[in-house]
Structure 1
Amino acid sequence: MTTSSFFSENWPALVAGALAGIPTALASAWAFGSKLTEKWLDRRFQKSLQYLKHEQDLTIARLKVEVDSVLAAKVKIQAKEFETMTVAWEMMSDVMVKVSTVEAPLKIQSDLSGHSDADWEDVFEDHHIKGGVRREILAATPFERNSLFWKTLDRIAVHDANVAISETRIYLKKYGVFVHKEVGDEMESLCLLAKGMMMKRSLAHDQFRSTLENLEKFDKEFMPRYEALFDQVRARLRDVGQMAPSPVKNGP
């Protein structure tokens, strides 16, 4: 039997057999293609996942830097406010002490009219009185020396109070941005009140009357406001101390 006659007689069976094998081949090809597709998709997914993780890590790092910067700035501002408020209050307290020294109702003025020139030199050294003021006092009569000396001490006390007032106001002008507004405004107001008292004392013709009026203003106005300011400053310093944020951790 020739090959051509074999195919002629058996082609239906051959075709049927070939067709019967197609599903198996297709199934094998589909399975092979599915594995390739699955691996390709897996690789793409892993790459995308790595990229997303990298971007997430960068975002977290940037956020940490920004948060750390904000908190660091906040801590610096709070520390500056605490420092400035503390210094301002110390200066305000100095104003109070020096104004009270000027307006003290019971100054003990010893009679120094019997002092010799050598005794007066010791007095001058103790009270840091120098130059022309010394010569002016020594040139006066013994009785006048005593009066001039106490007037000199009074002028020195007024001068010292004015210097303290001016220095406090200058400090508030320079660093007032770091002082709580209500506190800073009251400090400035008290300084102006004290300045007015010192000016009135310096210009008054009737020193006795001026002293009584200033003493009343000091007791009934200055000191109550000063004590209320003390409570404000203490509360503010306590609040600033409690506002300090906790350190930010960089890891779990």
Structure 2
Amino acid sequence: MAPALSMDSNSWDVISFAVDKGHGVKGLADLGLHTLPKQYIQPPEEQIINSTIVTDDSIPVIDLSNWNDPNVAEQICNAAEKWGFFQIVNHGIPIEVLENVKEATRRFFALPAEEKNKHSKDSSPSNNVRYGTSFTPKAEKALEWKDFLSLFYVSDDEAAALWPSACRNETLDFMKKSQFVIRKLLEALMKGLNVKEIDETKESLLMGSKRININYYPKCPEPELTQVLYSDYVKHFFRKAHDGKETVDFAKI
């Protein structure tokens, strides 16, 4: 049973509630807490301060509407080398596919805790499906303010058998429709390394494993004290979103 709304967020077993029982940070947010539980307060050196915020206009945003433009490949390689990540626009994945994933994400995380917890590290029948909150909650000095579902793709049959029905079809559809974009990005990166043609026997290795994570970032009572992701830019992005005290349901990167 969840603790009463009036209870001090530091006076009850947050780990048991959020991690062991599967309520996650969504469950904490639904309680209407006014202060952040101490388990989520980051050390001072990890907290977000204005002096470390990266400005939005410095983040690479790459328009993929014309793959034949040599500037596109150059931008991809430069962003990968200097930043390690970038945002893509006009990528060709239908907007309805993205909207369906967003809705499926909301639907999964709205499930009762006992349903979501069937896919936790301790309960999931496969390591390829894992629901959790934070990444290694029993080992971290401070927990991250997020819930996640990680889905590793092996085959359609395994996905049909093991992936949660609340989001299975939508995440599979997104994964398959994004393969074209991933391959084009790979081609651009390989050309940047002077590899003119991808060896078909090594293509699957270069493409990497097929995994999709859907994340849930509910509103946080004291966002400046906690952490969502480790990247400084991503921390800044979600800090701005939390400033408005709205639930963040889809990252832009």
TM range (shorter): under 0.3
Q: Which has the larger helix fraction?
A: 1
Q: Which has the larger strand fraction?
A: 2
Q: Kindly name which structure, 1 or 2, has the bigger radius of gyration based on alpha carbons.
A: 1
TM-score (norm 1): 0.21
TM-score (norm 2): 0.21
